[in-house]
């Protein structure tokens, strides 16, 4: 989904399930605080369980 950089280390963020990114709430270079919603994902099955996946 994205690569999060913290303390000069890169942390790839992978989706735990198939789905579609509906909304990306950050841009390259943005600094984010813990708990900030980074993106909104709709699971491939059309459910809503993945809506908060990708929180920092």
The pLDDT value given to residue 38: 92
The pLDDT value given to residue 50: 46
The pLDDT value given to residue 48: 53
* Cα dist from 45 to 28, 49, 53, whole Å: 29, 10, 15
The pLDDT value given to residue 35: 92
pTM: 0.62
Listed as ranges, residues in the chain with pLDDT below 70 are 46-56
Contact 4, 54 (CB under 8 A): no
Q: Which two tokens stand for residue 22?
A: 């509906």
The pLDDT value given to residue 16: 86
């Amino acid at each position: 989904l994205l690569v999060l950089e913290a303390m000069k280390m890169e942390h790839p963020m992978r989706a735990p399930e198939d789905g579609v990114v509906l909304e990306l709430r950050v841009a390259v270079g943005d600094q984010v605080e813990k708990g900030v919603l980074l993106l909104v994902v709709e699971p491939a099955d059309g459910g809503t369980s993945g809506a908060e996946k990708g929180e920092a």
